[in-house]
């Protein structure tokens, strides 16, 4: 079995240098870290978890708690998510474990049991809600974690996210710039952090343009094709003003909007303009919809590596400012928006 001493002899470095390079310490140059990681791979080095725990007090294991079995629409994404995180943590010499909770389990009880074993160094948290109890519990008990998203203006924990306020703003502003004044917004489930942030952006764009916020135009539901279909039909069958444009917070919802508009005898962009945020989910792509949809884009798959990197580096002592990042998004104009 290859040891740290074997790698140090192979490269002519000290055992301490090799150890710190493998653990990605900031005081080791990028060139040295690269050499050490390549040599470890070449020599088939596997870290001794027992020895690591004796020296550092940590197990080298990080975890993710899944509170429910993903539905059919989410299953492919969930497998990509797990594979991406596992690969990311593996690059840092850590083991990634999934804990599938029983549907009747209280989520905080699950975390308490796992924390009590002292076998998991930290957690990955996804889909945060406002005032998230998981985050409150882990912060109170001084348990490291990384968040995919944000929940507070000045977070004191590692996170990776996109600027969801800017996403909501940019989508709405694009429609306003094309002359639209009656703009509907089909968002995710009430309480989710990203849902709140995107609504803030939507309302900010309306306010800047002097346009009223209409509660009847602000719709919520699961991030699914069915939500887009149902909420669009309800808007166009209800009494009162009808939108000339719709913002969808993902491409699944946008797909449902197309189906609904066809059912009520309308089309994109001749009757209704449509924009959406694109996570680059493999099951629904903007160019495969009846009309290629304009909107913001940021590949969600590019989150998994940074999440693993941020938590690993934080566990190794990296400053908080180095493990907090808001990634950029882009806006792509296609054929789904018509000027009024």
Please tell me the distance from the alpha carbon of residue 62 to that of residue 98, in angstroms, as a whole number.
9
Residue the block writes with tokens 């699914």: 224
Return the closest-CA partner of residue 90 out of 299, 300, 303, 309: 309
What pLDDT does residue 306 have? 96
| CATH architecture observed for domain 4-46 | Orthogonal Bundle (1.10)
What pLDDT does residue 57 have? 56
Secondary-structure percent of the chain, ordered helix, strand, coil, rounded to 5: 45, 15, 40
Chunked mean pLDDT (size 10), the chain, 340 residues = 83 84 79 87 72 59 87 79 93 89 80 90 94 94 95 87 97 98 96 94 98 95 95 93 96 97 96 96 86 96 95 93 95 95
What pLDDT does residue 203 have? 98
Residues of the chain with CATH 1.10.260.40: 4-46
Give me the CATH code for the 58-162+302-326 domain, please: 3.40.50.2300
Instruction: Characterise 129 by phi-psi region: left (phi > 0), alpha (psi -120 to 50), beta (else).
Output: beta
* Helix, strand or coil, per DSSP, at residue 281: coil
The DSSP element (H or E) to which 263 belongs, if any, is helix 251-263
Query: Does residue 99 contact residue 82 with C-beta atoms inside 8 Å?
Result: no
* DSSP string for 155-218: -SS-EEEE-HHHHHHHHHHHHHHTT---EEEE---TTBHHHHHHHHHHHHHHHHTTPPP-GGGE
Residue 321 CB contacts under 8 Å (≥ 6 apart), including other chains: none
* End-to-end Cα separation, the chain, in angstroms: 70
Within a 10 A sphere around the Cβ of 91, how many other Cβ atoms?
15
- Residue count of the chain: 340
Q: In the numeric block, which tokens belong to residue 308?
A: 């693993």
Q: In the numeric block, which tokens belong to residue 266?
A: 């309308």
Name the DSSP class of 292: P
Residues of the chain with CATH 3.40.50.2300: 58-162+302-326, 164-300
* Helix, strand or coil, per DSSP, at residue 43: coil
The DSSP element (H or E) to which 306 belongs, if any, is helix 304-315
Please tell me the distance from the alpha carbon of residue 232 to that of residue 228, in angstroms, as a whole number.
6
What pLDDT does residue 54 have? 44
β-bridge mates for residue 100, sequence order: 66
Q: In the numeric block, which tokens belong to residue 142?
A: 């001084």
At the top level of CATH, the class of 164-300 is alpha beta
Please tell me the distance from the alpha carbon of residue 231 to that of residue 221, in angstroms, as a whole number.
8
The model's pTM is 0.82
Within a 10 A sphere around the Cβ of 224, how many other Cβ atoms?
18
Q: How far is CA 159 from CA 100, 126, 150, 165, 221, in A?
A: 23, 10, 7, 16, 25
């Amino acid at each position: 079995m290859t040891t740290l001493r074997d790698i140090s002899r192979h490269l002519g470095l000290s055992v301490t240098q090799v150890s710190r390079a493998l653990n990605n310490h900031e005081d080791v140059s990028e060139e040295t870290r690269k050499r050490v990681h390549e040599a470890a791979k070449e020599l088939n080095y596997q870290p001794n978890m027992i020895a690591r725990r004796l020296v550092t007090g940590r197990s080298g294991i990080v975890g993710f708690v899944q509170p429910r079995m993903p539905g059919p629409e989410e299953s492919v994404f969930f497998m990509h998510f797990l594979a991406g995180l596992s690969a990311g943590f593996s690059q840092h010499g850590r083991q990634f474990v999934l804990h599938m909770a029983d549907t009747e389990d209280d989520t905080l009880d699950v975390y308490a049991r796992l924390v009590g074993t002292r076998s998991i160094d930290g957690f990955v948290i996804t889909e945060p809600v406002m005032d998230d109890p998981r985050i409150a519990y882990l912060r109170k008990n001084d348990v490291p974690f990384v968040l995919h998203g944000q929940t507070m203006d000045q977070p004191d924990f590692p996170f990776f996210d996109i600027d969801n306020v800017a996403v909501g703003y940019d989508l709405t502003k694009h429609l306003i710039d094309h002359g639209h004044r009656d703009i509907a917004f089909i968002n995710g489930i009430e309480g989710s952090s990203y849902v709140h942030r995107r609504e803030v952006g939507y309302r900010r764009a309306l306010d800047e343009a002097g346009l009223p916020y209409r509660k009847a135009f602000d719709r919520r539901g699961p991030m699914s094709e069915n939500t887009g279909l149902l909420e669009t039909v309800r808007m166009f069958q209800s009494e009162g003003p009808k939108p000339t444009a719709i913002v969808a917070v993902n491409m699944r919802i946008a797909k449902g909007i197309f189906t609904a508009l066809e059912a009520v005898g309308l089309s994109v962009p001749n009757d209704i303009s449509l924009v959406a945020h694109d996570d680059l989910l493999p099951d629904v792509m903007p160019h495969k919809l009846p009309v290629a949809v304009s909107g913001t884009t940021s590949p969600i798959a590019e989150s998994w590596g940074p999440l693993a990197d941020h938590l690993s580096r934080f566990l190794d002592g990296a400053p908080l400012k180095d493990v907090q990042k808001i990634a950029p998004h882009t806006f792509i104009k296609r054929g789904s928006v018509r000027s009024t």
